[in-house]
Amino acid sequence: MKTVVKRICIRVHFIKPLPKSDFQRKAARFVSYMPTPKQEEQGVEEVNLDSESILNRTYWTRRIHKLCAIDGNVDEALCLLDCLRLRGYRPNSLNLSSVIHALCWSKRYAEAHQRFLFFIASHCIPDERMCNVLIARLLDSRTPHVTFDLVQSLINVNPEFVPSLMNYNRLIDQFCKSSEPCVAHRILFDMVNRGHCPTVVSYTTLINGYCIYGEMGPAFMLFNEMFKKGVAPNSLTYSVLLGGVLRSGDAQFGKKLIFQLWEQMRKDDNPSVNCASFANLMDVLCREGFCHEVFRIAEDMPQDRSVPEEFAYAQMMDSLCRADRYHGASRIVYIMRKRGFKPSLTAYNSIIHELSKDGGCMRAFQLFQEGIAFGYVPSEYTYKILVENLCQDGDITKAKEVLQFVLQLTTVDQTRTYNIYIKAICLTNNATELLNTLVSMLQAQCQPDVITLNTVVNGLCKMGRIQDAMEIFNDMMLGKFCAPDSITFTILISGLLNAGKIKEALVLLHEKMPKRHIRPSVVTYNAVIRGLFKLKNVNDAMEIYRAMVTQGLNADSTTYSIVIDGLFEAGRLDEAKRFWDEIIWPSKIHDSFVYSSVLKGLCRWGRLDEACDYLYELVDCMVSPNIFNYNILIDCACKLGLKKQAYQIVGEMRKNGLSPDAVTWRILDKLHRNFQLEEQEEKYHCLNVQLSDSRVSEDKYVDSNMEVAMFHPPF
């Protein structure tokens, strides 16, 4: 208890009201408020009023309210109010209410607090009911310190004002959620001092704050205080206390407390409180790893009729999914179906989706089959994830079964459905199934679009079936399918170059694309240049680049990265440096990928010093290299065994505001391991040398003794 009181006293300064003189100085800043230049630019008309019109308070109150509530123009309302003030108009509580509500609606909570302070300093204070309404509105800002300071300022001017119980409870909740339960406890004391009796909501909120913060001593103290004060705890109080106990790792006491929770839930006649306590319990059990307890509750339902069974099962599924326990959620579905309940289709779809992503596609497929019985239809994205993962696992038969089910639906686009399946088949490296799917698509009177054919051609090229890809392309050119587009040509050119067929690829680029009036894009040229560099045709690649520039196409950073990589790989270092100096740097089209290409090229040829100079020059030119650029240099230094230089690069990286990542530390760790291995090898070598020397000396000693024995036999 002493510890709690000490902590509360330490935190009192957070909510201590300002001295009156400080408050007056603070408020004076708002009293002297004048319209800003921005407000003057908005075209607010200057108000030319005589003394009688100023006295027409009803008219101005309605106009300000209209600007705030109907027109939504709070800036114009504020400017008008300031102009009226300068002519002797004294704002009333209705003006304050209109302005505060409009500012809060615009999410301008800081300005709303300032305006309220201004009205308080002007002694324009609304009645207690309106003050509590405005405080409740300001609490939506979730800045409890600022709002409570305003409440204290309001009490200083009007000592009879008492915040409502609901506002006190909200303040306690917000301080608890900001990890300040001791300050929230001080709010509870203040509430009692002002005549309020804390309710079960007040105590439960504060107990929950201490439990989240891990302070179980004060939490149990408050729980016992409830009985002394005659405040009966409800099931939610037991639930939040149980959550704190489970977080602290006391599973034995948690089991005892959970039986008290079930008893309390049977006593409470408020179903919403019981549902909230059950939901909180499920969240805590799943988050803290007590899933076996969730399954036991699902089987036994110890809460009886205090919580509807359907809600209980839905909450279990939701809590398990939030904790990424999707296999557990599928088990709840099984229990639920066994008892005759139908799960939510949205939750069911979410479980199948996440199981497919997390490697549980077989269980996801099983749930898919079971869900068909009660009307489950997968969403398009879930269908995509499920089919792709089934294909990656090599189970094309199940993927095809999912496809056939989705095709039977009248609400889906069949071509798009086939496209998703064909893209999934491309992951299996099964060209036969890919072509068979295209044939079955045509047999089903479903016309493939250009996306379908591009996906098929791309899949065949990646599988090395370039001849089949060319046949489909020729059919497209002859009009049997839809006409090819620039993407089709780009895919096929890239595939031909990967197969080493330079002549055919260049024919497509220079002859067939112009005949179709298709202009190659920078992506097409990038594919050609990359393919030629891979085939060591450096001169042809540079000719293609120059042709692209001549045609008026602007190279992008990908183009420059490809060219730099190709030149360095071909050993043409001087040409690569010249390309950077004369073309890339003046173009101002360069990013971290281009820098990485230059750095990797220099490091590949052991030019670490030049690479470091290049990077430091970039920094001097106000360019910010990323962590990957620095890691390239550090890796090169480590491979060369330059430990000191590696750490110098790390120091430069830190100076430029970057911190080493996991890759950096892994590179440095590898460097240290290499040094340790070298030291061990040196020690082992020295030991072998010493052993061999000792053996030689021993052999010499034995030989000398034998000679002595031979020439001087014993008598």
Nearest to 141 by CA among 106, 115, 93, 176: 106
Per the domain annotation, does 609 fall within a domain? yes
Q: Write the pLDDT tens digit of every residue in 142-190.
A: 999 999 999 999 999 888 899 999 999 999 999 999 989 999 999 999 9
Statement: residue 501 has pLDDT above 80: yes
Half-sphere exposure of 573 (CA within 13 A, CB side): 11
Nearest-angstrom CA–CA distance, 610 and 614:
6
| pLDDT tier, 39 (very low <50, low <70, confident <90, very high otherwise) | very low
| pLDDT tier, 254 (very low <50, low <70, confident <90, very high otherwise) | confident
Per the domain annotation, does 431 fall within a domain? no
Q: Write the pLDDT tens digit of every residue in 357-394.
A: 888 889 999 999 999 988 899 999 999 999 999 999 88
pTM: 0.73
User: For residue 193, what are the contacts with CB-CB under 8 A and spacing of at least 6?
Assistant: none
Q: So what's the pLDDT on residue 696?
A: 47
Nearest-angstrom CA–CA distance, 212 and 206:
10
Q: How far is CA 491 from CA 158, 181, 412, 461, 515, in A?
A: 77, 62, 28, 8, 18
User: What is the residue whose two structure tokens read 């100079």?
Assistant: 613
Q: Report how many domains make up the chain.
A: 1
Statement: residue 536 has pLDDT above 50: yes
Q: How far is CA 264 from CA 285, 306, 414, 636, in A?
A: 19, 10, 55, 67
- Cα angle vertex 76, ends 73, 79, to 5°? 150
Per the domain annotation, does 446 fall within a domain? no
Per the domain annotation, does 667 fall within a domain? yes
| Average model confidence (pLDDT) across the chain | 85
Q: Are 330 and 367 in contact (CB under 8 A)?
A: yes
Per the domain annotation, does 670 fall within a domain? yes
Statement: residue 711 has pLDDT above 70: no
Query: How many CB atoms are closer than 10 A to CB 245?
Result: 22
Per the domain annotation, does 444 fall within a domain? no
Statement: residue 48 has pLDDT above 60: no
Per the domain annotation, does 167 fall within a domain? no
Q: Where in the sequence is the domain holding 632, given as residue range(s)? A: 592-689
Nearest-angstrom CA–CA distance, 328 and 442:
42
Per the domain annotation, does 270 fall within a domain? no
